[in-house]
Structure 1
Amino acid sequence: MTAVDWPAVRTRVLTLLECDPEQGTTAPPLTAQQVAEAEADLGAPFPPDYRDYLLHVSAGGWFLDELRRTEHGWGWAPTHRGADPTAGLALIADRGHGAAVGLALTGPHRGTVWMDNRPHHEVYPLRAEDGRAATFTEWLLDWLAHMEELAGATPTQRGQVAYCWHMGVETPIDWCPPPDSRG
């Protein structure tokens, strides 16, 4: 994968939030010391691209759950899930109804993203167009590009597109076609 301009990614995220404040907010990036503390507390180093995201874009809070320290230690909010290094999957983005997007922290799939839909007994990799398991960066940039296409769409339209994307229509990181009418 080519180098990512993480400050430009942060600018894109902030621009989207400015255009649509209903989407919420995003936390500022973490410091290198905070990232190291989180890795130590959670028991596994983060994949390099997720680490770069945390250092240069955001600790989360809009599309991704916010990585933060509380009195219970480091975890992802709002549910304050920690990582399970034995399972190798950190649940970094709540998708509702018990489903979440996970980031593989260890093992042969380290750095790839997964749909953890255990209420339906499904855990599967989110795949790039070529069939490979998508990396965190591929998944994030795919989401960002599609959110930019949907600028100006209604919340219902955005929700439908997001639902299709998360439920794996076509290939899991692909999206449904954008709505024709944005009214």
Structure 2
Amino acid sequence: MREQVLALRGAPFPEKVFGVRRQGSGHEFLLEPTLSEAEVADAERELGCALPSVYRTFLLEVGAGGAGPHYGIFPLRRDAQGWHWAEGKGIRSDNALLGEVFPTAAERARWEEELNAREPAEQDFPDDQSYRAAFRAWDDEWEKLQDSMTAGAVCLSHKGCGYFVWLVVTGPERGTLWTDLRAANGTLEPLSAGPHRVDFRSWYLDWLSRAAGQAHSA
């Protein structure tokens, strides 16, 4: 698979593939070096989760990130911060939450409803200053809630326009992929093929097949 991806750099029309060329963030059909078994095991220990087997194999045999669907796969790297996914200016996975179970749609909806119900009302405060302080505190809770929405999942790819793809690593949905549409006031939606959830392997191979066809077609 690695050789197939890298070979597309020499295809007649690589620019026809979305995400290949974009100033500052196009993946150019490049892949990061692969990780060793010891490195992946060390990352799992530090991150507090076992990575899904298909994605784990990708890290070991294809690359730690780089070319892939949309603007590519965020690479898993180790630096002075430890192991983390290098996600540029996009959403960053909260590594502290990776060991928690990925919430259900019902849980996410309930959390939002409960927090909405606690929104401060200006008439309940003696002055504007105290109301604004309460509102800021409530708004900060929204930031924490957004992180909780993707507990147990890794942000893998930027689709553009603030939309992202997440890979669940903990809980019953482990190994499945989800599209994050919250930038447009949407929600998290599972990637599906008919009645079945899409895993990393089928997602990546589907992209590779389409990319090869586009890059070789006039």
TM-score by length of 2: 0.61
- AA aligned to 1:69 is R
Instruction: Check if 1:64 corresponds to 2:128.
Output: no
Instruction: Check if 1:118 corresponds to 2:173.
Output: no
Of stretches 34-43 and 105-114 in structure 1, the one that deviates more from structure 2 is 34-43
Structure 2 partner of 1:11: 3
Of stretches 98-107 and 113-122 in structure 1, the one that deviates more from structure 2 is 113-122
Instruction: Check if 1:127 corresponds to 2:192.
Output: yes
- Partner Cα distance (1:17, 1:78) in 2: 23
5+ long unaligned stretches in structure 2: 15-19, 22-26, 101-150
Cα deviation, residue 152, structure 1: 4.0
TM-score by length of 1: 0.72
- Secondary structure of the corresponding residue to residue 3 of structure 2: helix
- Partner Cα distance (1:18, 1:93) in 2: 24
- AA aligned to 1:113 is L
**Which deviations, in whole Å up to 9, do the C-alpha atoms of 1:46-84 show, x marking residues without a partner?**
000000000000111222111111211212123283443
Cα 1:97–1:70 shift into 2, 3 Å: farther
Percent sequence identity is 37
Question: Which has more helix, going by share of residues?
Answer: 2
- Partner Cα distance (1:115, 1:35) in 2: 25
Structure 1 partner of 2:34: 29
Cα deviation, residue 115, structure 1: 0.5
- Partner Cα distance (2:163, 2:81) in 1: 23
Aligned pairs, number: 145
- AA aligned to 1:50 is Y
- Secondary structure of the corresponding residue to residue 150 of structure 1: helix
Cα deviation, residue 94, structure 1: 1.9
- Partner Cα distance (1:10, 1:31) in 2: 15
